[in-house]
């Protein structure tokens, strides 16, 4: 990639290799996005499929990232929650417009542990916690007033005590077996690198793709 060489040099100095380790590269692109994108650098389009194989896509926020994959939280009974629990597969796409870069990840999804979900839920604003109880995400809503009444109802129910995580609310970790990096190149010719995980050899391999 045009200036991937710089990323690669940096990674090599840090002891890793962006040539064979997509996580190093992802972390360095994400770090840059965090400083340069004004809003929601952790926003990603999440694609699932329904029971007929029809794709569905919406935006969610990545809340954790490590070498296993990226974590997002949602209502388990929502459309996406149902589809994820049925297919156990997903794809996400980050698009950092300011940087003119995108990263796509595809693979298996698994539920985070209850402890991880409790910890994250506990860190959310109280109104978001009450919203998680009140909203039957993806179901029809008669009016915003009805929802606000539900929020108030749970506010009274929990009073001044800690709001527990509802059972219908948790997180998923996308465990990618492919990660693709795309960067705008000169004259509209983009640079694309696809990393694929080879389970047998327990390592990532990199292929440059035509734009």
Ligand X SMILES: Cc1cc2nc3c(=O)[nH]c(=O)nc-3n(C[C@H](O)[C@H](O)[C@H](O)COP(=O)(O)O)c2cc1C
Binding of residue 50 to ligand X (CB under 6 A): no
Binding of residue 138 to ligand X (CB under 6 A): yes
Which of 77, 85, 87, 137 is close enough to bind ligand X by CB under 6 A? 137
Nearer to ligand X, 60 or 182 (CB): 60
Ranges of beta strands (E only) in the chain are 43-49, 55-61, 64-65, 70-75, 89-96, 101-111, 169-183, 191-198, 203-209
Q: Would strands 191-198 and 169-183 be described as parallel, antiparallel, or unpaired?
A: antiparallel
**Least distance from ligand X to the Cβ atom of residue 40, Å:** 5
Which of 60, 109, 130, 182 is close enough to bind ligand X by CB under 6 A? 60
Q: 28, 36 in Cβ contact below 8 A?
A: no
Binding of residue 9 to ligand X (CB under 6 A): no
Q: How far apart are CA 169 and CA 78, in angstroms?
A: 10
Residues in contact with ligand X, shown as a per-residue x/- string from 78 to 117 under the rule CB under 6 A: xxx-------------------------------------
**Least distance from ligand X to the Cβ atom of residue 92, Å:** 11
Instruction: Measure CA of the first residue to CA of the last residue in the chain; give whole Å.
Output: 11
């Amino acid at each position: 990639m045009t200036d991937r060489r710089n990323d690669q040099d940096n990674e090599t100095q840090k002891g890793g290799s962006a040539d064979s380790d997509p996580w190093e590269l992802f972390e360095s692109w994400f770090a840059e996005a965090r400083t340069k994108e004004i809003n929601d650098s952790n926003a990603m389009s999440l694609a699932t499929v329904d029971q007929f194989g029809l794709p569905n896509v919406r935006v969610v926020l990545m809340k954790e990232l490590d070498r296993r994959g990226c974590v997002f939280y949602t209502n388990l009974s929502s459309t996406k929650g149902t589809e994820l629990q049925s297919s156990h597969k997903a794809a996400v796409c980050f698009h950092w417009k300011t940087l003119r870069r995108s990263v796509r990840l595809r693979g298996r999804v698994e539920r985070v542990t209850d402890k991880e979900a409790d910890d994250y839920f506990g860190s959310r604003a109280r109104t978001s916690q009450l919203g998680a109880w009140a909203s039957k995400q993806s179901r029809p809503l008669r009016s915003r007033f009805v929802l606000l009444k539900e929020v108030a109802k749970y506010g009274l129910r929990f009073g001044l005590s800690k709001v527990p995580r509802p059972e219908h609310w948790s997180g998923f970790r996308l465990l990618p077996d492919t990660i693709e990096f795309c960067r705008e190149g000169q004259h509209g010719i983009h640079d694309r690198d696809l990393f694929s995980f080879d389970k047998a050899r327990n390592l990532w391999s990199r292929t440059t793709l035509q734009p």
